[in-house]
Structures are given as C-alpha cells and as structure tokens.
C-alpha cells in the first residue's frame, strides 16, 4: 500500500494547468492525503481563467498564469505541456519556488532529478529548483520492476504497453468516447486529436519515430528508466501502443536478470512488501491486473508473475496496471512534494 509522509509545516502551493486532466488529479490527491496547505493557487491559460473549482470544500477561482504568479509560492505542480513549463521555469525558480514538472521538458537534464519516490527519493535533494516527474509508462513499469531489481539486478526488459486515452488529456479521453459512440451508432467519425479512429481500435503511440525505429514514448521508457536507476547498462526494448481504455495503463513485462531469476514466490513477496504495489495474481479465478480496477486508486496492481519458459533460469514475466493520471502523473508529483 502507498503511504505518504506529509510535510510538518503548511505550504503555499500553485497548480499550473489546474483545469486539465492531471491538474484536477493534483487537487484530488492533495485533498485525499490531507497535504497541509497554507494557500493554494489554481493557474491556467487565459481560456480557462475565471472557472471555479473546489479545493477541500472551498471554492477557488482559476487565475490566468503570469510570471508573477509564483511569488510567495513554495511548490508549483506543473502539468500544462512542455512549452509552458519551459516558458515559466525561470519565473518559478527565481521566486524561490520549487517546480515539480509533469512534462518532458527537463527530464533528461543533468541537473534535474527525475524521480519515482519509491525508487530514487534520495535524488530529490540534488535539485536546483526543478524536479521532473517521469513519463507515465516509465513510472508504472518501474513500480513493478524496481522491487525485484533492487534485490536482484535486471539485465534486460522487453515490454509492450497497453496505454489509456488519458495520456493525451481530456480531449483524447473525450475523443475515445465520441469515436466509440459513433461506431456503436454506425455513424462516421472524423478524429481531431489523434491520427486515427480510436473507438474499438488500437495503434502505435503517435509520437515521432526516430532513426532507430522507436517512437519517442518508447525511448522515454528506455532513457528515463536508465536515469532513474542510475544504470545505463540495463537494456530495454519497448513497444508502446494506445488501446481504447480511459485512464489506466497496462504493461506486459519480460525480465532477464543478470543472475538467476527470483522464484515466483520470492518475486510475489518482494512486490507485496513494496509501498505502492498491490498483488492481483489469482490464477484460479483468472483475476489479474485490469484497467477498471487500477483506475482511481493510488497503488499499481501487479500480477501474471511467472517464470519465463523461453528463458529458463534467468527470465520472469509480469503484468502491471496503474492509473495514468495518479501514479503515472499527479500522485507521483505530489509524492515528490511530500519529500521536500
């Protein structure tokens, strides 16, 4: 089970991108864990400014973000896209505020810690004002891999993802609903947010493909995992796929260990003891991690734990489901804030 250590003194917090899919979850997570707040600012673009939102029973008006928004703020949680993060980073840090950023803008910079608190919380202390939240698939995969890796180092990961619409925000979640509805009603649908019709369909993650044939999402899983684990030798091959699911990612993971793989019981015990993981591995009832059960909860669900029959001795397979908006984004960022 996931647990958070809360800061001792109340903080001034700003949320950039407060009306977005992740923004709303920042609010819900802060509320759920009773994060001590002195003052909260909800920030957005001009378009959404003026909207009313609730925080802990209080109505708060969303303000248009500007370079002065961060004066007197201790922690800014950003989920407004890479370009907005880049545009405001200096204003945030110049105000003495710590920026916890959910975009990919700063993740691979040497002086920016990239953190999954259960994995590398100790990196937070090296921050120079900015801490990056990893890519959602990277976080969720690591929640299943790290509990095993820290005991018994992993050499190679072969992984295929089943990624939810929420990775693209509200607009993509809505497009999934509209496209599916049109399909059921036998009506034509013209996708706007995505390159292809999403209802009852799936497709390769629509980020640009590099020279090596991998898309950006896949390379994030490789590079970010290596940075978080401080291990450039770990080999990773990822296939990232968008499936018609709303808000929880699933990931099929094939592991090769440097030494012998743990037994299934050992692996299950290591995962069970790990904060933020729940085992869902009921072979008799064919009950394993599923998006509908991972949605809306803090923990990642891990199951299908089995010795890899194609790599006897060194291989192990597993399957994880995690809420893309929570552990894949807002929860992880708030957990980072808890460590400050």
Residues known to be catalytic = 136, 249
- Report the DSSP beta bridge partners of residue 44: 64
Please say which residue, 9 or 310, places its beta carbon nearer to a copy of itself: 310
- Cβ 274 to a copy of itself shortest distance, Å: 20
- Cβ 330 to a copy of itself shortest distance, Å: 20
- Cβ 80 to a copy of itself shortest distance, Å: 24
Tell me which residue of 73, 70, 23 sits closest to 48, measured CA to CA.
23
Strand pairing class (235-239; 154-162): parallel
Half-sphere exposure of 293 (CA within 13 A, CB side): 14
Please say which residue, 80 or 302, places its beta carbon nearer to a copy of itself: 302
Please say which residue, 305 or 330, places its beta carbon nearer to a copy of itself: 305
Are 338 and 4 in contact by the 8 Å Cβ rule? The answer is: yes
Please say which residue, 36 or 296, places its beta carbon nearer to a copy of itself: 296
- Cβ 187 to a copy of itself shortest distance, Å: 14
Tell me which residue of 297, 215, 206 sits closest to 243, measured CA to CA.
206
- The span from the CA of 57 to the CA of 27, in Å, is 11
Both tokens of 243, joined, read 């499936």
- Report the DSSP beta bridge partners of residue 255: 157, 316
Residues in the chain: 340
Residues near a copy of itself (CB under 8 A): 156-158, 160, 162, 176-177, 180-181, 184, 195-197, 200-204, 206-209, 212-215, 222, 235-237, 239, 241, 243-246, 250, 252, 254, 264, 283-288, 290-292, 303-311, 315, 317, 319
Half-sphere exposure of 51 (CA within 13 A, CB side): 18
């Amino acid at each position: 089970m996931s647990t958070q250590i809360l800061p001792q003194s109340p903080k001034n917090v700003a949320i950039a991108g407060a009306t977005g899919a992740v923004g709303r979850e920042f609010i819900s997570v802060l509320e759920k864990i009773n994060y001590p707040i002195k003052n909260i600012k909800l920030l957005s673009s001009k378009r959404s400014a003026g909207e009313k939102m609730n925080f802990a029973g209080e109505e708060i008006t969303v303000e248009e973000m500007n370079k002065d928004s961060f004066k007197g703020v201790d922690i800014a949680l950003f989920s407004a896209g890479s370009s907005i993060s880049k545009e405001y980073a200096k204003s945030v840090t110049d105000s003495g505020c710590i920026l916890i950023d959910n975009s990919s803008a700063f993740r691979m910079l040497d002086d920016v810690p990239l953190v999954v608190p259960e994995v590398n919380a100790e990196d937070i202390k090296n921050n120079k004002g900015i801490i990056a939240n990893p890519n959602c698939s990277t976080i969720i995969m690591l929640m299943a891999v790290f509990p095993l890796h820290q005991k018994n180092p992993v050499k190679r990961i072969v992984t295929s993802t089943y990624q939810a619409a929420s990775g693209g925000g509200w607009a993509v979640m809505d497009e999934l609903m509209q496209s599916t509805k049109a399909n059921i009603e036998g009506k034509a649908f013209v996708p706007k947010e995505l390159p292809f019709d999403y209802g009852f369909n799936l497709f390769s993650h629509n980020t640009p493909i590099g020279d090596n044939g991998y898309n950006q999402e896949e390379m994030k899983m490789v590079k970010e995992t290596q940075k978080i684990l401080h291990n450039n030798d770990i080999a990773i091959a990822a296939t990232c796929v968008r499936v018609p699911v709303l808000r929880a990612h699933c990931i099929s993971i094939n592991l090769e260990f440097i030494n012998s793989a743990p037994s299934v019981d050992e692996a299950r015990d290591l995962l069970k003891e790990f904060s933020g993981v729940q085992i869902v591995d009921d072979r008799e009832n064919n009950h394993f991690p599923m998006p509908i059960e991972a949605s809306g909860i803090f923990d990642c669900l891990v199951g299908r734990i089995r010795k890899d029959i194609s790599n006897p001795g060194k291989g192990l397979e597993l399957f994880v489901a995690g809420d893309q908006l929570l552990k894949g984004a807002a929860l992880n960022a708030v957990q980072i804030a808890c460590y400050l």
